[in-house]
């Protein structure tokens, strides 16, 4: 099933990673207020994962969504990591290139399991944490170099024989609507597309189709997704926050060349009276393969900004100058190309 056809209120979704205390410790009340703000603004697509705060994001999201009828929204989560009852020192955990991104999350140990049995167990646990009877889309999480280094291909192979097959069966049985990868890298998605034994329905690609980073995805992944009818959910449209006034790029310190590019984009936005969030969201959605975009938020006011941004009228001259100044790839589809 095409993901874009399941979205009742359009392509703007909610990325729930911040609810897992990503980078900072937020209160239950602040998390609840953020989810409620998303609902009130019309968000009906929510994405989370066991990894986000060792189950904290799922628990918080499920608590608020339980106030609404299940058929009113689309829910996705991820497999590949099991959250154990055993605890550990959360401050000592590091996650590949992402460092201590969730050091403020729950202290439960995280076990990696991309087998078929692990996939079923992960889904069962997620259903319990969120107190829901079904999950719509399931992403196989982080089978990529940023978490597993040179071992990532062997991890991918385990998922190919385990998680991919299990999720295909669950889809064919009607238990879930679809599946794909949930990754921050282009290469695993290209490998998935090349497989003949399984066929994904969609894929969550974080950070690789933003204003600041899209050229690699444009070479093969995005055209292949469009040609095959595989929907792309764009995660991280603000590049870990730097495009929304934050201090992170790729979950770390902002490199100088990125900071310089952000300033040029900001200057162009100011000249045309365009909110930079609007430029970021509308760029990510302009590609035919893009079915949804899921910026993360942990403050209610950010949700309102996102909804205003996706509806903002952006003059054609802004997009023309963005391309002329080579601030985006010359072959990147822009909203003006659709007019």
Which of these is catalytic: 5, 28, 52, 125? 52
**Percent of the chain at pLDDT above 90?**
86
According to DSSP, the β-strands at 81-87 and 108-112 are antiparallel
Q: Is 78 among the catalytic positions?
A: yes
Comparing CA positions, the residue from 287, 293, 334, 290 lying closest to residue 314 is 334
Give the pLDDT confidence score for residue 39 in this predicted structure: 98
Q: Is 114 among the catalytic positions?
A: no
Q: Other C-beta atoms within 10 Å of 186: how many?
A: 20
Res. 252: pLDDT tops 90: no
Give the tens place of pLDDT for each residue, 24-56: 899 999 999 999 999 999 999 999 999 999 999
Res. 339: pLDDT tops 70: no
Mean pLDDT of all residues in 225-254: 87
Enumerate the H helices of the chain as residue ranges: 28-41, 56-65, 116-130, 145-148, 152-161, 163-172, 187-194, 215-219, 221-228, 256-272, 276-285, 300-311, 316-324
Q: Which two tokens stand for residue 50?
A: 């066991």
Give the pLDDT confidence score for residue 98 in this predicted structure: 60
Q: Is 5 among the catalytic positions?
A: no
Q: Is 12 buried (19+), middle (13-18) or exposed (0-12) by CB count in 10 A? A: buried
User: What is the per-residue DSSP string for 219-240?
Assistant: HTHHHHHHHHT-EEEEE-TTGG
Give the pLDDT confidence score for residue 71 in this predicted structure: 97
Cα separation of 47 and 85, whole Å?
23
Comparing CA positions, the residue from 317, 213, 203 lying closest to residue 262 is 213
Q: Is 22 buried (19+), middle (13-18) or exposed (0-12) by CB count in 10 A? A: buried
How many angstroms separate the Cα of 282 from the Cα of each of 190, 300, 308, 327?
Answer: 24, 21, 11, 15
Give the pLDDT confidence score for residue 95 in this predicted structure: 65
Say what angle helices 316-324 and 256-272 make with each other, to 10 degrees.
Answer: 150
Mean pLDDT of all residues in 146-161: 96
Give the pLDDT confidence score for residue 159 in this predicted structure: 98
User: What is the per-residue DSSP string for 252-302?
Assistant: BPPPHHHHHHHHHHHHHHHHHT--HHHHHHHHHH-STTEEEEE-B-SSHHH
Which of these is catalytic: 47, 136, 142, 201? 47
Which of these is catalytic: 73, 78, 185, 209? 78
How many angstroms separate the Cα of 25 from the Cα of each of 29, 56, 87, 324?
Answer: 12, 11, 18, 42
Give the tens place of pLDDT for each residue, 59-82: 999 999 999 999 999 999 999 999
pTM (two decimals)? 0.95
Res. 96: pLDDT tops 70: no
> What count of residues does the chain have?
339
């Amino acid at each position: 099933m095409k993901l874009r056809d399941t979205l009742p209120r359009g392509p703007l979704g909610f990325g729930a990673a911040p609810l897992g205390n990503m980078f900072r410790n937020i209160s239950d009340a602040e998390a609840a207020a953020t989810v409620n703000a998303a609902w009130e603004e019309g968000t009906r697509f929510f994405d989370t994962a066991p990894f986000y705060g060792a189950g904290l994001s799922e628990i918080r999201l499920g608590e608020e969504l339980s106030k609404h009828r299940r058929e009113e929204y689309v829910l996705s989560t991820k497999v590949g990591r099991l959250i154990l009852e055993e605890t550990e020192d959360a401050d000592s955990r590091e996650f590949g290139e992402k460092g201590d991104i969730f050091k403020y999350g729950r202290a439960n140990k995280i076990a990696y399991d991309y087998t078929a049995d692990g996939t079923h167990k992960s889904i069962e646990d997620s259903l319990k944490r969120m107190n829901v009877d079904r999950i719509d889309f399931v992403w196989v999480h982080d089978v990529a170099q940023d978490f597993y280094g040179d071992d990532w291909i062997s991890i991918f192979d385990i998922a190919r024989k385990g998680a991919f097959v299990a999720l295909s069966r669950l889809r064919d049985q009607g238990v879930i609507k679809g599946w794909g990868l949930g990754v921050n890298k282009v290469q695993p998605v290209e490998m998935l597309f090349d497989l003949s034994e399984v066929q994904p329905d969609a894929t969550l690609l974080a950070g690789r189709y933003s204003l600041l980073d899209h050229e690699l995805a444009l070479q093969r992944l995005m055209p292949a997704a469009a040609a095959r009818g595989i929907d792309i959910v764009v995660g991280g449209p603000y590049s870990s926050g730097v495009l929304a006034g934050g201090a992170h790029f790729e979950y770390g310190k902002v490199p100088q060349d990125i900071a310089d590019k952000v300033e040029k984009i900001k200057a162009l936005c100011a000249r045309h009276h365009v909110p930079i969030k609007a430029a970021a969201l509308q760029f990510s959605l302009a590609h035919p393969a893009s079915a949804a975009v899921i910026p993360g938020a942990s403050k209610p006011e950010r949700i309102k900004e996102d909804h205003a941004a996706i509806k903002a009228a952006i003059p054609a001259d802004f997009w023309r100058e963005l391309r002329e100044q080579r601030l985006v790839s010359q072959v990147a589809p822009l909203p003006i190309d659709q007019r």
